[in-house]
Structure formats: C-alpha cells, structure tokens
C-alpha cells in the first residue's frame, strides 16, 4: 500500500538533523488526535473483541486443547507434528491450486463482465442482477446439493456432454482427480461480488477521459490500457488482495459440496476445512490453532508480496 511506503518515505527522507527529525515526526503525527478519534470504534473493537481471542488462539497453538478440558501446555509439539502431517501437506497443495487457479479466473471473468455491463445497453440492470445472483446463493446448502448432482457420473453436465457427442463417463464429483475442479468452477460461478466492486470502481472513472480519448480517435484497446486499467488499478488491487486472502481461507463451499468430508479421498480437503475438522471434529483445537497461525504467515507473506508489487502497477490519484 502506498500509504505504508509513503510514511516510510517521510521517515527516510529526513532522519538527518534533529530539526528535520522533529519536523518529520510532527508531520507524521499532525493528525494524531483526529486520527485516533476516527479510529476509536475500530480500536475498541480490536481490543475487546478481536485481539484477545487472537492472542488466545496463538497461546492455544502451543497447547493440547480438546475444547472439553482445559488447555495443556505442550510447547512446539503441534508445530512439529505439522511438519510430518501428510494430510496437512495435501491440504496445502489443494488450497494452493485453488488459490492460484480460481482467483485469477474469477477476477478475469468478473472484470470482463463488468466492462461489458458498464457500457450503456438495454437490460443492464437485469443482467447485473442475474450475474450477481450466484454470489447470493453460492454458499447455500441447496446449491451445493444441486452442484453435486449436476456433476455426478449421470448428472446434467455429463448428459449435456453426451448430447454433444462426448463419451462422458467421469464422475466429476466422485473422482478424486476432478472433484476440486467442480469447486473451482463453483467459485468462478460466484464472480458477482468482485464484479459489483469492479462496476463501482468503473463508475468512479471520470467520463471526460474517455471523451477526450474518443475525440483523439483512440480505439477500444488503447482506452482500456491507458485509461481504464490505470484508473481502476486501486480496485483491481483491492479485489486481488482480498480474493487471495479469502481463497486461502475458503471453507464453506468445500464443506457443503463434500458434505464436510473433504473427499473424495481428501481431494477437496481445503486447509481451513482440515483445520475445522481437527478443531471441532477431532477435538484437537491446539493443533488447529497452530495450523491457523501457519496460514496467517502464508497469507501475510503473499499479501506483502502483493503490496510490494503494487508499487509498480497501482496508480493512486493522491
């Protein structure tokens, strides 16, 4: 985030004479009172509701905690077990595939449709609502049941494929090789949320730029790469960061489509699904907490990479 680099720039530029240091510190703190006042609700929430439980979960990661009995300190044992836990490694693999395939796919579709829908056209509101509907339903049990059925060996998808002449004998949902892809597809189907955010971002691009470009005879692609992309980049960045964070924590869709099992054969055992099973089904909440903090490290690393890379392609007006 440029704010972070901005702040560090302020700190970097000076740091010479005590006079400059004082001025820079004053600059950094000039809105102290207002800043903390505006931040107050969030700070209260952080301290009362969030920080305590977060630190508690960190503590729990060093314990053996069954939820039913009090936690028992075991030091780094949970973390050690994670190194040899094959199912955990598998869940990391499943999650990484999901994150790095479904996120770009979903965002690309969302952006494409948003661009399509941003132009004046008939039935715009209708299409927008239609494309957003799956996001509203996405995590529901009812849809998951249907999704399972559609991808069974004699389900709708195979029936359509057979009509088209393919010899469709694969059970997309029952075969460990393919089950993950049905969930990736489910995720891409719910592109409505990032699409809405893209639309909102597109709304904020002043029209005069496009008009000026049109006057200059610029074609669609030129407009897209020189106006839309740069001015939309803060929103693209936001969607990218948050969809990746969310994708790493994807739970509900895998849970409902696999009926909680992560099957077949752990092929849809996402990291947080495995975490949930360890914590709530196998009563190993200490281990689950350790898994959670490992995930935080992984997500933080990728988010930091995202932020660092953003300096090179995100264009902020301020």
Partner 1 sequence: MTDLDTRDATGARPITGPAPQEAIHHGPTWKDHARSAIKHVLLIAASLVMIYPLLWLIASSFRPNDVIFRSPGLWVSDLYRENYSQGWYALSNPFGQYIINSAIVVVGAIAGNLFACTLAAYAFARLQFRLRSLWFAIMLLTIMLPFHVVVVPQYIVFNQLGWVNTFVPLILPKFLATDAFFVFLMVQFIRGIPKELDEAARIDGCGHWKIFSRVMLPLMGPAIATTAIFTFIWTWSDFFTPLIYLTDPIAYTVPVALRSFLDATAGSNWGAMFAMSVVTLIPLFLVFLFGQRFLVKGIATTGGK
Partner 2 sequence: MAINRRQFLIGAGGLAAAATTVGLAGCAPGSGGGTGSEGGGGGEGGTANLALAWWGNPTRNKNTQAMIDAYMKANSNVKITGQPGEFSSYWDKLATQTAGGTAPDIIQMDMAYIAEYGNRGALMDLKDVDVSKFVEGTVDSGKINDTLVGVNAGINTPLIFGNPKVFEKAKVDLPDDTTWTWDQMSEVAAEVASKSGVPFGLAAFFTSDQMFSAFLRQNGKELFNPDGLAFEPADAQAWFDLMVKFQKAKAIGTPQQISEEFNKPLDQGALVVGKAAMQHYHSNQLEAVNAASGEEMRLLRTPSLTGKATERKAWYKASMLWSVSAKTKSPEAAVAWINWFANDPAAADIEKAERGIPPNSELQEHVRPKLSPAQQTVAKHIADIKPELAPTPIAPPPGGGTLGQVMGRYQTDVLFGRASTADAAKKFVDEVKSNLQV
Site for partner 1 in 205-264 (CB under 8 A): 205-208, 210-211, 214-215, 217, 220, 223, 231, 234-235, 237-238, 241-242, 245, 248-249, 251
The stretch among 80-88, 98-106, 162-170, 283-291 that binds partner 1 (CB under 8 A) is: 283-291
Closest distance of CB 210 from partner 1, Å: 4
Find the helix or strand (DSSP H, E) in which 13 lies: helix 2-13
Position 121 contacts partner 1 (CB under 8 A): yes
List 23, 108, 124, 222, residue binding partner 1 (CB under 8 A): 124
Position 20 contacts partner 1 (CB under 8 A): no
Site for partner 2, residues 46 to 65, rule: CB under 8 A: 47-48, 51-53, 55-56, 59-60, 64-65
Position 114 contacts partner 1 (CB under 8 A): no
C-alpha distances out from residue 285 to 56, 162, 239, 280, 299, Å = 12, 47, 31, 7, 21
Give helix 52-60 / helix 285-313 axis angle, nearest 10°.
120
Tell me how far apart the alpha carbons of residues 7 and 190 are, in angstroms, rounded to a whole number. Answer: 37
Q: 245 touches which of partner 2, partner 1, none (CB within 5 to 8 A by kind)?
A: partner 1
Q: What token pair was written down for 98?
A: 């999901």
Tell me how far apart the alpha carbons of residues 184 and 171 are, in angstroms, rounded to a whole number. Answer: 16
Site for partner 1, residues 21 to 60, rule: CB under 8 A: 25, 27-32, 34-36, 38-46, 48-50, 52-54, 56-57, 60
List 76, 300, 305, 309, residue binding partner 1 (CB under 8 A): 300
Position 98 contacts partner 2 (CB under 8 A): no
**What is the CB neighbour count within 10 angstroms for residue 124?**
13
Site for partner 1, residues 71 to 110, rule: CB under 8 A: none
Q: What are phi and psi of 63, to 5 degrees?
A: -125, 170
Find the helix or strand (DSSP H, E) in which 73 lies: strand 72-73
Contact pattern from residue 249 through residue 268 relative to partner 2, giving x for each residue in contact according to CB under 8 A and a dash for the rest: ---------xxxx-xxxx--
Position 203 contacts partner 1 (CB under 8 A): yes
Q: What are phi and psi of 30, to 5 degrees?
A: -65, -25
Whether 181 contacts 172, CB under 8 Å: yes
List 64, 66, 90, 135, residue binding partner 1 (CB under 8 A): 135
Q: Which is nearer to partner 2, 56 or 200 (CB)?
A: 56
DSSP state of 72: E
| Number of residues lying near partner 2 (CB under 8 A) | 47
Closest distance of CB 225 from partner 2, Å: 45
In three-state secondary structure terms, 206 is coil
Tell me how far apart the alpha carbons of residues 21 and 10 are, in angstroms, rounded to a whole number. Answer: 10
Tell me how far apart the alpha carbons of residues 116 and 135 are, in angstroms, rounded to a whole number. Answer: 18
């Amino acid at each position: 985030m440029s704010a972070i680099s901005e702040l560090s720039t302020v700190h970097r530029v000076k740091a010479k004479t005590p006079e400059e240091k004082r001025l820079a510190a004053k600059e950094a703190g000039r809105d102290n009172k207002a800043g903390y006042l505006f931040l107050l609700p969030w700070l209260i929430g952080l301290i009362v509701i969030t920080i305590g439980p977060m630190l508690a979960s960190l503590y729990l990661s060093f314990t053996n905690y069954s939820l039913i009995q009090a936690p028992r300190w075991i030091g780094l044992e949970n973390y050690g077990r994670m190194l040899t836990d094959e199912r955990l490694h598998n869940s990391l693999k499943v999650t990484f595939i999901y994150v790095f395939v479904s996120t770009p796919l979903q965002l690309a579709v969302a952006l494409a449709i948003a661009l399509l829908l941003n132009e004046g056209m008939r039935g715009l509101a209708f299409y927008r609502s239609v494309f957003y509907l799956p996001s509203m339903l996405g995590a529901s049990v009812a849809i998951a049941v249907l999704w399972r059925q559609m991808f069974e060996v004699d389900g709708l998808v195979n029936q359509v494929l057979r009509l088209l002449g393919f010899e469709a004998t694969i059970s997309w949902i029952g075969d460990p090789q393919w089950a993950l892809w049905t969930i990736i597809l489910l995720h891409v189907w719910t592109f409505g949320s990032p699409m809405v955010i893209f639309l909102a971002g597109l709304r904020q691009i002043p029209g005069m730029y496009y008009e000026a470009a049109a006057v200059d005879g610029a074609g669609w692609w030129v407009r897209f790469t020189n106006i839309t992309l740069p001015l939309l980049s803060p929103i693209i960045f936001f969607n990218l960061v948050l969809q990746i964070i969310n994708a790493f924590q994807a739970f509900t869709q895998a849970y409902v489509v696999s009926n909680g099992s992560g099957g077949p054969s752990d092929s849809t055992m996402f990291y947080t699904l495995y975490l949930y099973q360890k914590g709530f089904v196998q009563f190993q909440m200490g281990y689950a907490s350790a898994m959670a903090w490992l995930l935080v490290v992984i997500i933080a690393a990728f988010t930091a990479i995202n932020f660092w890379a953003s300096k090179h392609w995100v264009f902020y007006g301020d």
